[in-house]
Amino acid sequence: MDIIDTIKEQIASNPVLIYMKGAPNAPQCGFSARAVQALMACGEKFAYVDILQNPDIRANLPGYANWPTFPQLWINGELVGGSDIILELHESGELQGMVKAAQPAA
């Protein structure tokens, strides 16, 4: 499987996915830290990929997503955006609804 297929598979199999530097409990950059805090505040499950541990993803995702920076939040296969957009959605209350709506039915 090539790296683009891996990325597509990750996005397809995780309703809420953040590509970030580090892990949610140990982010490795301020933008990832703020983005993941907003995501955790929603109180729902989400998946993450540490791009520092996955250099091929780090190198190829910006071209695939047509988005140059990290973090990147994907909900239901759609790119939501990076840190600034995530924080704006969180502050407006929209992020929680988007994340909750993406959760699989129990």
Annotated binding site for [2Fe-2S] cluster: 29
Compute the residue count for the chain.
Answer: 106
Strand partners, 19: 49, 72
How far apart CA 29 and CA 14 sit, in angstroms, is 23
Binding-site sequence positions for glutathione: 21, 58, 70, 83-84
Joined together, the tokens standing for residue 60 give 């190829």
The binding site comprises: 21, 29, 58, 70, 83-84
